[in-house]
Chain A
């Protein structure tokens, strides 16, 4: 029994023709495989390799290089929380701590008991002006607060059939933003 369904395999086999050289199809193909299975199993990577006439070790080498390919099971909804400098300056560490409690996991990569959530701390996602921010279900969420995290979690818990995408396109009215104030006050100089 194969890991990937026949229609996905058909899609993968059609990919190489879209590029000047067939090898470029490897990442789009892994994307399709990951979309179906949630993460990339060794079997799935082998099947992608066979479909693209590449060495399985080569395909795995590509999959392990890039952050967005997962080789372990992940939650149905995966939070990617930026903890790079701009987000950390505006409280990303507190957001991650709150998120852990909200979805009930101890560390990054752990899947919540109900299988719905996991999280990962990632590097800059290019939305520094809205720090702290995260990405979940293919959408960015800006100016995060603990309340916004709770809301994102609650919305997904109440869904039975997959998340609804944000309305397209997401408006970005700079003037109407509610920018949360970082809480931390300057610390006093320690003596000695």
Chain B
């Protein structure tokens, strides 16, 4: 199965300092890349690893890089999506706070792989500490001559720069992030053109997640084949998960893809609080369709989750036990999606608020059969690609999946005006 990848050195104190990071083997991957490899060789090595994007979309990283045109005459950019804001997901913050140099090194390698010279890390504004640590890490790398006009004495200039977001969930969507990076309101673009052709500032761009790029130096150091020994047949490697909610030990854990949610929730995260039972969990951030307690033995295999209609997403596992009400939980999440809708597409702008008002009526004991029907229709209206990005879909999934698995709780609220938390069995 092999050992950890991302957290391999996390037990070492002071890993955020270049000196420590380098002593363990850090920056040897970037050195190897710029002094002895071609861009194509880097892409090939990552292709062998099978690495797929860890921001939620699960797209093969090497393929994304290979879409960036090689013969483009102007600048090309790597943009790092460090705008982590999926409810339940905190792993990018954890990675940046523990090992900022891994991200800097990974971003520089990615720039080299697409034949670019600049990587821009778009980091959410609330992440003050990771921002400061990255700023120092970049400065240290420049001072050592690992970044700059002549990294490791070679001629391929590399630079990593920082840009702070200002609080907008929609920036996790790559084209909205690019709009924001260009100084605009963050509203998704229609595609094509895709970012690989016309991305940041109108130039070819690959947008990668923090975790994805933090994995890349390890792959270069140890080989793509070694990475591919971990994981399932098609979903290779390890990934970070954040476990939050009703467990004894909430935290960030690196898992080998393919372990079960039971292993993560009951062993790594210490299981449930005394006297409580699992009711439901979100397997990959609040946008992933919920799975009831009966599906705790589901594998984290990304393709298996897709087959179930849900996703591994951004790795945020939210655990809810029998002391909490699913309807209230869903209502809270719909308030989130309505608030974060950028307003560009009508189904999402209108549907989100409509759902919130309906939930408000239900929770004020003013619900009826009518409200159940409204929720079903709104959930349908939000989904199925009616909008430019996935925010509306995600809002619809929350309603649809909670109603499907916990229809009796919805009926209790709407038809009987009761909340039977603590006594309702989950139905698959």
Q: Which residues of A contact B (CB under 8 A)?
A: 19-21, 23-28, 30-31, 61-62, 65-69, 80, 83-86, 88-90, 122-131, 135, 138-140, 168-170, 172, 174, 179, 181-182, 184-190, 192
Bound complex: CA A90 to CA B124 (Å)? 24
Known contacts A85-B286, A184-B323; decide if A189 and B85 are in contact (CB<8 Å).
Answer: no
Whether B166 and A27, one on each chain, are in contact in the complex, defined by CB atoms closer than 8 angstroms, is: yes
CB-defined contacts of A130 to chain B, threshold 8 Å = 250
- Residues on B with C-beta less than 8 A from A169 are 16, 97, 129, 132-133
Taking the closest CB of chain B, its distance from the CB of A96, in whole angstroms, is: 13
Q: How many residues of B contact A (CB 8 A)?
A: 74
Chain A hits for B324, CB < 8 A: 89
Q: Closest chain A residue to B16 by CB distance?
A: A169
Given the complex, which residues of A lie within 8 Å of B86, measured CB to CB?
Answer: 124
State A41–B262 Cα separation when bound (angstroms): 52
CA distance A123 to B384 in the complex (A): 25
By DSSP majority rule, is chain A's interface helix, strand, loop, or mixed?
A: loop
Whether A128 contacts B201 in the complex (CB less than 8 A), given A89-B320, A123-B169, comes out as: no
18 contacts between A and B (CB under 8 A): A20-B118, A24-B181, A26-B183, A85-B87, A85-B245, A85-B332, A124-B85, A124-B86, A126-B89, A127-B93, A128-B90, A128-B244, A129-B242, A168-B132, A172-B94, A182-B273, A187-B419, A192-B416
* Count of A-B contacts judged by CB separation below 8 Å: 182
Question: Is B316 in contact with chain A by the CB < 8 A criterion?
Answer: yes
Partner of A139, one of B128, B186, B201: B128
Contacts of B421 in A (CB 8 A): 186-187
Q: Mark B122-162, 1 if CB is under 8 A from A, else 0.
A: 00111111001100000000000000000000000000000
Across the interface, name the chain B residue whose C-beta is closest to A127.
B90
User: A84, B422: Cβ atoms under 8 Å?
Assistant: no
Task: Given A88-B332, A124-B88, A169-B16, answer yes or no on A67-B166 (Cβ-Cβ < 8 Å).
Answer: yes
Smallest CB gap from B416: residue in A: A192
Cβ contact within 8 Å between B249 and A189: no
Q: With A84-B336, A170-B97 given, can you name 20 additional A-B contacts, CB distance below 8 Å?
A: A21-B182, A24-B181, A31-B166, A69-B166, A86-B245, A124-B86, A124-B336, A127-B93, A128-B87, A128-B316, A129-B250, A130-B250, A140-B128, A140-B129, A168-B132, A169-B132, A174-B251, A186-B421, A187-B419, A187-B422
